[in-house]
């Protein structure tokens, strides 16, 4: 009867130990070791938050950069703005600012955009109809807003075409304006490997887009009143470089304290990441299994002594 009882105890202990191993929850990995670099490594802002407003951190440290990347889609926090001077006078569109860190054991670099990214290597400008990111993004933006041929039929009466709107957007610094992404978080699902990146922006970007198109006020009504568009971020991960952007935002619950407009929208973009290595079991679980092993050793010694 005693032997049966011992077997039951050992069996139960094993079951508990193995169950604990099997039920270690999947963790959401975050970007670690975040550093700022690029050919314009000093051109960035760090915005912290107080759950209501975001506000610029003066003389930010590496810890400040890491701290503001701690949010998620449900609760975005502060952000890091790359190439913060993109809307300034005499802006050098050939330089970039990067944010680099490690996530799931892989290096991820996020970058602002340059004229090379938008127009092609060595190109300082572009034309409507060219094969490049500028044209691809511009047409996707129009399609996402439902601006159809019928709209341009109306605009044509006033001599406005897709080409003229594109030229105005280009001339008015529209592409520069969307080249300075504000990174609010970088997280990874340890089960699927999916990497989620939050881009802080205007929930309604109409005040950014409409003036850049050069439309007079009386024609601006032909465009939707709600225009959503994230800034574009360039990424390099696991040997691949590409661009991410979104035309759909959720309300962040935050607003920049100075202008009361910025950072009100959260645009989430994703990368199909590599599934991270399996997590090491918690020390308490390992100790529990060692305890079970100890029971077996003790039991074997007990049998030898009893013979």
Q: What is the pLDDT of residues 87-111, one digit of tens each?
A: 898 999 999 999 999 999 999 999 9
Residue 13 sits in which domain range?
2-22+281-306
State residue 95's pLDDT score. 98
Whether residue 183 sits in one domain with residue 86:
yes
53 touches 257 (CB < 8 A): yes
Whether residue 18 sits in one domain with residue 32:
no
Q: What is the mean pLDDT of residues 209-229?
A: 88
Whether residue 285 sits in one domain with residue 266:
no
State residue 279's pLDDT score. 58
Whether residue 219 sits in one domain with residue 151:
yes
The C-alpha atoms of residue 120 and residue 236 are separated, in whole angstroms, by 18
Q: Which has more pLDDT, 168 or 221? A: 168
Whether residue 204 sits in one domain with residue 61:
yes
The C-alpha atoms of residue 198 and residue 57 are separated, in whole angstroms, by 19
pLDDT grade for 62, boundaries at 50, 70 and 90 = very high
Dihedral sign, CA of 62, 195, 249, 169? positive
Least confident of 38-52, 96-110, 202-216: 202-216
232 touches 177 (CB < 8 A): no
Please say if the pLDDT value at position 8 is more than 50. Answer: no
Whether residue 183 sits in one domain with residue 294:
no
pLDDT grade for 299, boundaries at 50, 70 and 90 = low
Name the pTM for this structure.
0.83
Beta bridge partners of 187: 30, 196
Q: What is the mean pLDDT of residues 197-213?
A: 93
State residue 215's pLDDT score. 86
Whether residue 210 sits in one domain with residue 68:
yes
Whether residue 208 sits in one domain with residue 142:
yes
Whether residue 265 sits in one domain with residue 155:
yes
265 touches 248 (CB < 8 A): no
Tell me how crowded residue 102 is: count the other CB atoms within 10 A of its CB. 14
pLDDT grade for 220, boundaries at 50, 70 and 90 = confident
pLDDT grade for 128, boundaries at 50, 70 and 90 = very high
Strands (E) in the chain, as ranges, are 28-30, 32-37, 44-49, 53-56, 79-82, 98-103, 106-111, 182-189, 194-201, 233-237, 240-244, 250-251, 255-256, 265-272
Please say if the pLDDT value at position 154 is more than 50. Answer: yes
Whether residue 161 sits in one domain with residue 252:
yes
Whether residue 286 sits in one domain with residue 251:
no
pLDDT grade for 138, boundaries at 50, 70 and 90 = very high
Least confident of 37-41, 218-222, 224-228, 268-272: 218-222
Please state, rounded to an integer, the average pLDDT across all residues of the chain. 86
* Domain total in the chain: 2
Phi/psi of residue 295, nearest 5 degrees: -60, -40
State residue 157's pLDDT score. 87
Whether residue 295 sits in one domain with residue 243:
no
30-55 burial, b if ≥16 CB within 10 A, otherwise e?
A: bbeebebebebeebbbbbbbeeeebe
pLDDT grade for 144, boundaries at 50, 70 and 90 = very high
């Amino acid at each position: 009867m005693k032997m049966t009882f011992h077997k039951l105890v050992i069996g139960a202990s094993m079951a508990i130990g193995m169950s604990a191993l099997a039920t270690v929850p999947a963790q959401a990995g975050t970007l670690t070791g975040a550093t700022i670099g690029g050919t314009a490594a000093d051109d960035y802002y760090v915005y912290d938050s107080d759950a209501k407003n975001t506000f610029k951190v003066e003389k930010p440290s590496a810890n400040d950069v890491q701290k503001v990347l701690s949010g998620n889609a449900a609760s975005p926090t502060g952000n890091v703005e790359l190439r913060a001077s993109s809307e300034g006078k005499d802006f050098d569109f050939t330089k970039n600012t990067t944010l680099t860190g490690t996530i799931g054991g892989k290096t991820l670099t996020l970058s602002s955009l340059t004229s090379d990214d938008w127009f092609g290597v060595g190109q300082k400008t572009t034309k409507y109809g060219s094969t490049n990111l500028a044209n691809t993004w511009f047409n996707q933006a129009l399609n996402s807003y439902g601006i159809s041929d019928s709209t341009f039929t109306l605009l044509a009466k006033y001599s406005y075409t897709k080409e003229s709107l594109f030229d105005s957007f280009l001339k008015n610094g529209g592409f520069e304006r969307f080249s300075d992404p504000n990174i609010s978080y970088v997280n990874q699902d340890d089960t699927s490997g999916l990497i989620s990146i939050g881009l802080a922006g205007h929930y309604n970007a109409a005040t950014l887009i409409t003036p850049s198109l050069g439309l007079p006020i009386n024609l601006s009504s032909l465009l939707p009143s709600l225009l959503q568009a994230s800034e574009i971020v360039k990424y390099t991960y696991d040997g691949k470089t590409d661009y991410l952007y979104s035309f759909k935002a959720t309300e962040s619950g935050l607003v920049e304290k100075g202008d009361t407009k910025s950072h009100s929208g959260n645009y989430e973009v994703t990368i199909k990441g590599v599934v991270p290595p399996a997590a090491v079991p918690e020390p308490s679980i390992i100790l529990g299994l060692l305890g079970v092993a100890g029971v077996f050793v003790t039991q074997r010694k007990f049998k030898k002594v009893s013979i």
